[in-house]
Amino acid sequence: MKEDYAITIKGRQVYGDEDQGEVCLSALGTYKQKDGARFILYKEYDEEDARAYRTALLKVEPGMVTMSRSGSSTRLILEKGRRHLCLYDTGFGSLTVGIYTSQLDVDLDDSGGTLEITYTLDVDSNLSSQNQLHITVNPVPVL
């Protein structure tokens, strides 16, 4: 995988009235377009073993983003105005979660751009959290 793009993901979760703070991930990865979809790929490294990683994939199509990881059953579908039942791998097993996407703003072109996503997560139809993602994709300057 040619890692020629800087990918930054900022995520925020809110449980009830409690803001859980912000998590930020920066990685080098790949960004490409194929058959009308854009693909963002990057490696997520294990906190305990720096050599172990999974490849994360974001497939961006008109009105929808699908998130998945290699070696995992996780597959999250984020489609504005729709609720999807998705499989989420916790590392100890998989569970089905409901995901309702209220905001999906895509500003990507051939050189990169941004994604803004707001969604809720529910388990057994009980609200678990409100979530926001801000994703940026920028080419790495050639030295």
Of 8-22, 66-80, 89-103, 122-136, give the lowest mean pLDDT range: 8-22
* Selection from 138, 140, 133, 1 nearest residue 67 by Cα: 133
**Does 143 have pLDDT greater than 80?**
no
Whole-angstrom distance, CA of residue 10 vs CA of residue 136: 9
The pLDDT tens digits for 6-54 are 999 999 988 767 767 788 999 999 999 999 999 999 988 777 777 778 8
CB count within 10 Å of CB 119 equals: 23
pLDDT tens-digit map of 98-110: 999 999 999 999 9
Identity at 76, one-letter amino acid code: L
**Element of type H or E holding 3:** none
